[in-house]
Homo-oligomer: A and B are copies of this chain.
Amino acid sequence: MSDRLLNVGIAGLGRMGRRHAEQLAWRTRGAQLVAACSPLEEERAWARGHLGAAALYDDFDALLRDPQVQAVAIVTPTTLHAAQTIAALEAGKHVFVEKPLALDVAGCERVVAAARAHPDRIVMVGFVRRFDPHYLEARALIDAGRIGRPFLIRSQTCDKNDPDGFFVRFAPTSGGIFMDCSVHDIDVARWMLGNPKAQRVFASGTIALHGGLADCGDVDNGLAIVEFEGGARAQFYASRTQAHGNDISTEVIGTAGSVGIGDGARRDRVQSRDAEGVHHRVLADFIERFDDAFGRELAAFVAACRGEAPLPLTLADATEATRIGVAITRSLHSGLVETV
């Protein structure tokens, strides 16, 4: 139905990678998945069973050398994001890379420089909330003036507790709870407030359940306040230990009203009632929550690669999110107010 499909290769076939791979293989107009790459035989075996004719590689450089690959989706550990993005650009590929772009500002800036050197290549960081219909509806209400001037964001990213503590093992390379979870809230705050410059931050946290996090200075519940130039403020809450499920919500408060996204975390349109009262279930995780948005995100990336539509977010946005996240993490460790 379109003249030429964009040939995409994917790197990383963990849980998120598999979701993106299936999306690109079957549900993204204008694209086809032609290659996949993972160092793990188990993940490549999954690809052989589920992704049909896609070429499989155990090495990222091999993927980049595949001449039919026009664009790569990088869904690898965060510590690899910046270097792989730069390598892909240098190999002439468009790049979709999961958030955060890098765990330090220098890493982001190297990507920015590489992108500037390849101005005809698309680089997009996966801040999925920018593609979520609920967040977009909120933004439309704000743009329509319905809440006056927005000056305060309160936003939370709270995961259902995983008794196995998978993320504890993952903690040393995740960048900590604020880089891993709140980076979305940080990006949303900048987006909703009109990209003000952050000045100072303060963070505090506690370990409620997962003592193993202490080894790398991380917490399982964290609070942060950000002060922006011009008076706007943001307040973040990140948690790994919610009993009821995944609970992501944002409130944008303005001078004439406010708008909330996600309150209630209700999984579906079902309500049950019994002698204990009235009950509803809650979303299991962020993949269930943003299922639709992940599809729209990749569709936007493909459309940008095909020259059909501009990207709604920039590498500068990703850099600022890292800059603020790094300062918040520094404050968590120092116990002091930190400048951004």
What residues make up the interface of A, taking CB atoms closer than 8 Å to B?
1, 25-27, 29, 50-53, 133-134, 137-138, 141, 146-149, 151-152, 154, 200, 202, 204-209, 221, 223, 225, 227, 231-233, 235, 237, 239, 241-245, 253-282, 335-337
Flag if B257 contacts A274 (CB, 8 Å). yes
Q: Of the candidates B205, B232, B336, which one forms a contact with A337 in the assembled complex, judged by CB atoms under 8 Å apart?
A: B336
Which of the listed residues A146, A151, A258 has the most CB atoms from chain B within 10 Å of its own CB? Answer: A258
Q: How many copies does the complex hold?
A: 4
Flag if B272 contacts A258 (CB, 8 Å). yes
Flag if B270 contacts A141 (CB, 8 Å). yes
Flag if A147 contacts B274 (CB, 8 Å). yes
Task: Please indicate the chain B residues that have their CB under 8 angstroms from the CB of A257 in the complex.
Answer: 243-244, 272-275
Task: Please indicate the chain B residues that have their CB under 8 angstroms from the CB of A225 in the complex.
Answer: 202, 204, 223, 225
The chain B residue sitting closest to A50, CB to CB, is B1
Instruction: Give the Cβ gap from A33 to chain B, nearest Cβ, in Å.
Output: 10
Q: Of the candidates B202, B206, B245, which one forms a contact with A202 in the assembled complex, judged by CB atoms under 8 Å apart?
A: B202
Instruction: Give the Cβ gap from A16 to chain B, nearest Cβ, in Å.
Output: 21
Q: A223-B233, A259-B272, A278-B280 are in contact. List 10 more A-B contacts (CB 8 A).
A: A1-B26, A26-B29, A137-B268, A146-B274, A149-B208, A206-B231, A208-B255, A223-B225, A244-B274, A257-B272
The chain B residue sitting closest to A234, CB to CB, is B223
Task: Please indicate the chain B residues that have their CB under 8 angstroms from the CB of A258 in the complex.
Answer: 242-244, 272-273
Flag if B278 contacts A265 (CB, 8 Å). yes
Flag if B244 contacts A232 (CB, 8 Å). no
Q: Of the candidates B147, B235, B337, which one forms a contact with A237 in the assembled complex, judged by CB atoms under 8 Å apart?
A: B235
Instruction: Give the Cβ gap from A144 to chain B, nearest Cβ, in Å.
Output: 10
Docked complex Cα distance between A134 and B263 (Å): 19
Docked complex Cα distance between A147 and B134 (Å): 28
A275-B243 contact in complex given A225-B202, A233-B205, C-beta closer than 8 Å: yes
Docked complex Cα distance between A265 and B269 (Å): 8
- The 27 sampled A-B contact pairs (Cβ below 8 Å) are A1-B26, A1-B50, A1-B52, A1-B53, A147-B274, A151-B206, A152-B208, A204-B227, A205-B233, A206-B233, A239-B253, A241-B255, A242-B258, A243-B256, A243-B258, A244-B258, A244-B276, A257-B272, A259-B270, A259-B272, A260-B273, A261-B269, A265-B278, A266-B278, A277-B279, A278-B279, A337-B337
